């Protein structure tokens, strides 16, 4: 992230979630009535304009998909896959959800399943300031929402979270959605080290990552230019085996590792074939201590 400025990538992924909440039924993946209210007025107006008529919304879906080489389809799909992992943990009794690099994630405000859960939103302070502004007046559905500021490149999660009231003795569910690709490998490893110390046995982690060598050369170049234009750099790619080894070394067992190609089965066939495999989602469980 650029020093002193908030994340713009969080705006764009929230805008895609808002778009896919407002599109016609056959394209809609989930209702997220909060997403649009978290956007800046300009982006909210754009989403409303693009979804004012079903025909315009269908055209926007195709056009944005084509110009991002299919990248835009992955965002709403990954969010649903992560929601399912969270619901599994909550159903098993987990009462702490940690959103690493929360951005404009609306889960604390839209998921009724979080009624008995404390949600820790961990992010860069400049992104959090904007989120505070946008969520003023919104009533969370989660039991409690706690903000904890971090710069993953400099700060240690193990120091930040316990100070925010996180209880390492109790199981937790962790979401690291659309963040690792913007971090150095050192920051990722340090954060995973903290998770090893903070995640009680049975805790679950849902982490997305950019697949090593994703797309073709042109796609990678487009991704890098696009990220740079909105103030980020694509810094880290990983293979499923590399990430799995990192998780296993910290006593996590990988339950699933899927991409948008797997999640796309939720969409009608003609849209599913436009989806590409760039980002993957690994869901892992912390092993019981020996
Ligand atoms: C693409 S957004 C994803 C936001 C959210 N997880 C979602 O999917 O909507 C990336 C997030 O990572 C955060 N981020 C990037 N670099 C960071 C850093 N060095 N320290 C803390 N947060 C960082 C940004 O502030 C932003 O909220």
pLDDT at 5: 72
Residues whose beta carbon lies within 6 Å of some atom of ligand 1: 1, 7, 9-10, 13-14, 101-105, 123-124, 127, 150-153, 177-179, 182-183
pLDDT at 1: 60
Please enumerate in sequence order all residues whose Cβ is within 8 A of that of 81, keeping only pairs 6 or more positions apart, or say none: 206, 258, 263, 281
Please compute, for residue 62, the number of CA atoms within 13 A of its CA located in the half-sphere on the CB side.
7
pLDDT at 161: 96
Q: Taking Cα atoms as reference points, which of 264, 272, 118, 252 lies closest to residue 198?
A: 252
Q: Give the C-alpha distances (Å, rounded to integers) separating 209 from 17, 138, 260.
A: 19, 30, 12
| Total residue count of the chain as it appears in this document | 290
Q: Is residue 175 part of a domain?
A: yes
pLDDT at 197: 96
Q: Is residue 178 part of a domain?
A: yes
pLDDT at 2: 56
pTM of the model: 0.95
Number of structural domains found in the chain:
1
* CATH code for the domain in which residue 194 is found: 3.40.50.150
Domain residue limits at 243: 69-286
- With a cut of 50, which residues of the chain have pLDDT below it? 290
Give the residue, by CA position, lying nearest to ligand 1 atom 10.
179
Q: Is residue 62 part of a domain?
A: no
Q: Is residue 27 part of a domain?
A: no
pLDDT digits (tens, 9 = 90+) for 187-228: 999 999 999 999 999 999 999 999 998 888 888 888 888 888
pLDDT digits (tens, 9 = 90+) for 36-77: 999 999 999 999 999 999 999 999 999 998 888 888 888 999
Q: Give the C-alpha distances (Å, rounded to integers) separating 112 from 7, 104, 139.
A: 27, 18, 12
pLDDT at 289: 55
Most ligand 1 atoms within 8 A of CB, residue of 123, 149, 155 to mutate: 123
Phi, psi (degrees; rounded to nearest 5) at 203 = -65, 160
pLDDT at 236: 93
């Amino acid at each position: 992230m650029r020093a002193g400025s908030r994340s713009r990538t969080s705006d764009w992924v929230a805008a895609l979630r808002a778009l896919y909440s407002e599109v016609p039924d056959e394209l809609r993946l989930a209702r997220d009535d909060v997403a649009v209210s978290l956007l800046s007025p300009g982006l909210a107006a754009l989403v409303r304009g693009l979804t004012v008529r079903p025909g315009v919304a269908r055209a926007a879906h195709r056009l944005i998909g084509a110009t991002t080489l299919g990248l835009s389809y992955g965002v709403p799909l990954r969010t649903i896959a992560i929601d399912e992992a969270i619901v599994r943990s909550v159903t098993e009794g987990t009462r702490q959800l940690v959103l690493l690099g929360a951005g404009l994630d609306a889960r604390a405000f839209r998921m009724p399943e979080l009624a008995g859960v404390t949600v820790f939103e961990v992010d860069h302070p400049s992104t959090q300031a904007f989120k505070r502004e946008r969520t003023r007046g919104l009533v969370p559905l989660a039991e409690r929402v706690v903000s904890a500021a971090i710069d993953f490149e400099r700060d240690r999660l193990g120091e930040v979270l316990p100070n925010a009231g996180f209880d390492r003795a109790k199981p937790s569910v962790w979401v690291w959605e659309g963040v690792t690709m913007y971090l150095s490998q050192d920051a990722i490893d340090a954060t995973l080290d903290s998770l090893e110390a903070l995640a009680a046995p049975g805790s679950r982690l849902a982490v997305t990552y950019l697949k090593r060598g994703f797309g073709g050369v042109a796609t990678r170049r487009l991704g890098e230019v696009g990220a740079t234009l909105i103030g980020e750099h694509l810094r880290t790619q990983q293979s499923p085996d590399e990430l799995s080894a990192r998780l296993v070394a910290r006593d996590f067992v990988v339950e699933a590792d899927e991409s948008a190609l797997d999640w796309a089965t939720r969409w009608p066939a003609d849209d599913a074939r436009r989806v590409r495999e760039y980002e993957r989602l690994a869901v892992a469980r912390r092993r019981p201590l020996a």
